[in-house]
Amino acid sequence: MSTVLLYDSKNPEYVGLVENGHFSLACQLIDQVSRSFKSDSLLERITAKNNIASLYTELARYREASALQESAHADVMVHDFHITPYVLAILFCNYGVLKYRLGKYEDALSMYNNALSYELDDAQTKAAILMNLASLYRTLGDYVSAGSFFSLAEAEMKSADRNPLFYLRFLRKLGSLYRSSGRYVAAEKVFTEALQYGARHFRTGHPEQGKLYGCLAELCRSKGELDRSRSLYAKSVCTIRAAYGPNHPETGMQLGNLAELHRAEGDYKLAERFYVKCLSILRSSLGATHPDYAKRLNNLAQLYRYTGRESQAETLLRQALTVLESTFGPNHHHVAKLMNNLSGVLLSLGQIEESETLCRRALQVRKKVLGKHHHVARSYLTLCEILQARNQLELAKTACQDALYILEQTLGASHQSTLEARSKLEALSQCTP
């Protein structure tokens, strides 16, 4: 999500430091910028509050950001006829970013829609709002709406002088949409373009570059390119930690992604260490009911499952499922992922009835939301295991065939997941007439 800074003629250095990712240096100027809180000029007061709140949002200092946003909006409520639509739109946009970071997605959607309700001559600001809406819809699993808003944002950016930072964020978020929807070739193309663009326009160590390294690393891990993924994750963690500090949620999430890589490599001890560190950071910075925390609980639960600790895995998955269902509702692909994983754990624990119920619910949601996606194949493979446990071998074979077809189409014939599904199908074929 992207906040928008208002032009501040009294503090141009501060604005430049924030936009260039020099957050610690920008913090040194907060006292100077905050002097405008007592200005006789309403615009100067709102500008200072907005710009400091934007920095606090970026640094995950959410209580301080909320206080300043509420103060700025209180000023607007009293004097809104003195404020231009441009400023009002930016205030609503940035408040929406804050709500998104807090996991309050309905509030974020309301704020973004309020921001778009103003007629804006500034195409760059309108593009930023549209881009935030697109990212929100991607998080909500509505990839069609996300794609539509990305297209609108791109059209706005073409009609304005290109802001390098906004364009870099646009590329990163568009690539993330492609990755989420299983369009890996398109995602890699966009991420590669973004890294090249960032290298031309930004200093080494800019936080946006760190986020891009992480996005491309996650894509490579999904494709089974673990060596390349490891190198990119190392760059990502180093860059993000230097920019945000060791206890920022962005740092925590990158450590969680690195844990996923170590789990994929079979280094479960190191993976668990990174999972625990990730969850510690996210719990202290976001809280135990934040969806990002719940998603990482799922990842640790998977590690417990692989290491024979199914009861512990079940506890974590039920906790995470409660959080995600309350955030997204029952028909979201993140919820379906949790249901599918819990189904597999319950099967290991011998609870076949609940396991099958959850698996079929997960499969139904994934097919509807994701279409032909490798996550759908995983639900078919879970269903295959359940049917095999019930000795319904023909049905199990059919489920495995469905999974293999999707994996070959989405990940390719040589991907490890595809090879494992093919081996599974061959074994089932030998057991059936």
The most confident of the ranges 16-20, 71-75, 191-195 is 191-195
Question: Quick one: what percent of the chain has pLDDT higher than 90?
Answer: 58
Model confidence at 176: pLDDT above 70: yes
What would the pLDDT profile of 324-382 be if each residue is shown by its tens digit? Answer: 999 888 888 889 999 999 999 999 999 999 999 999 999 999 998 888 888 899 999 99
| 249, pLDDT greater than 90 | yes
Q: What mean pLDDT comes out for the span 230-246?
A: 93
Confidence of residue 160 (pLDDT cuts 50, 70, 90): low
Q: Which of 161, 181, 197 is the last residue of a domain?
A: 161
42 with 60, same domain: the answer is: yes
Centre a 10 Å sphere on the Cβ of residue 196 and count the other Cβ atoms it contains. Answer: 11
pLDDT for the residue numbered 412: 83
- Whether 109 is in a domain gets the answer yes
Would you say residue 260 lies in a domain?
A: no
| Predicted local distance difference test score (pLDDT) of residue 1 | 59
- Domain range holding 172? 163-238
Shared domain check, 429 and 320? no
pLDDT at 79: 67
**Based on the domain organization, do 128 and 15 belong to the same domain?**
yes
Is pLDDT at 274 greater than 80 in this prediction? yes
Domain assignment present for 30: yes
Calculate the dihedral angle through the C-alpha atoms of 159, 160, 165, 171, rounding to the nearest 10 degrees. Answer: 0
Q: What is the pLDDT of residues 100-155, one digit of tens each?
A: 998 888 899 999 999 999 988 888 889 899 999 999 998 887 888 999 999 999 88
What pLDDT, in 10s, does the model give residues 386-401?
999 999 999 999 999 9
DSSP conformational letter for 433: -
For residue 350, the domain's CATH number is 1.25.40.10
Question: 241 or 416: whose pLDDT is higher?
Answer: 241
Q: Are residues 320 and 396 in the same domain?
A: no
Q: Say yes or no: 221 and 302 in one domain.
A: no
Q: Are residues 175 and 141 in the same domain?
A: no
User: Tens digit of pLDDT for each residue in 51-74?
Assistant: 999 999 988 899 999 999 999 888
Between CA 13 and CA 34 the distance in angstroms is: 14
Q: What is the DSSP letter of 38?
A: G
How many domains does the chain divide into? 4
Q: What is the mean pLDDT of the chain?
A: 90
The answer to whether residue 80 scores a pLDDT higher than 70 is no
Query: pTM for the whole thing?
Result: 0.83
The highest-confidence range among 16-30, 153-167, 251-265, by mean pLDDT, is 251-265
Which of 303, 328, 361 delimits the end of a domain? 361
Radius of gyration of the chain measured on its C-alpha atoms: 23
Closest among 250, 84, 256 to 172, alpha carbons compared: 250
pLDDT at 20 over 90: no
Q: Read off the tokens for 351.
A: 């609870």
End position of a domain, from candidates 210, 238, 266:
238
How confident is the model over 291-302, as a mean pLDDT? 94
- 156 with 12, same domain: the answer is yes
Q: Give me the CATH number covering residue 378.
A: 1.25.40
Residue 432 has pLDDT above 70, yes or no: no
Q: For residue 65, tell me if it sits in a domain.
A: yes
Position 284 in a domain: no
Say if 228 falls within a structural domain: yes
**Residue 255 · residue 274 · CB < 8 Å:** yes
Same domain, 43 and 146: yes
Using the predicted structure, report yes or no on whether residue 242 has a pLDDT greater than 80: yes
Q: Is residue 377 part of a domain?
A: yes
Same domain? 26 vs 157: yes
Q: Is residue 403 part of a domain?
A: yes
At which residue do the structure tokens 């200092």 appear? 61
Same domain, 193 and 341: no
Same domain assignment for residues 157 and 73: yes
Joined tokens for residue 81:
């006829």
If asked whether residues 28 and 154 sit together in one domain, one would say yes
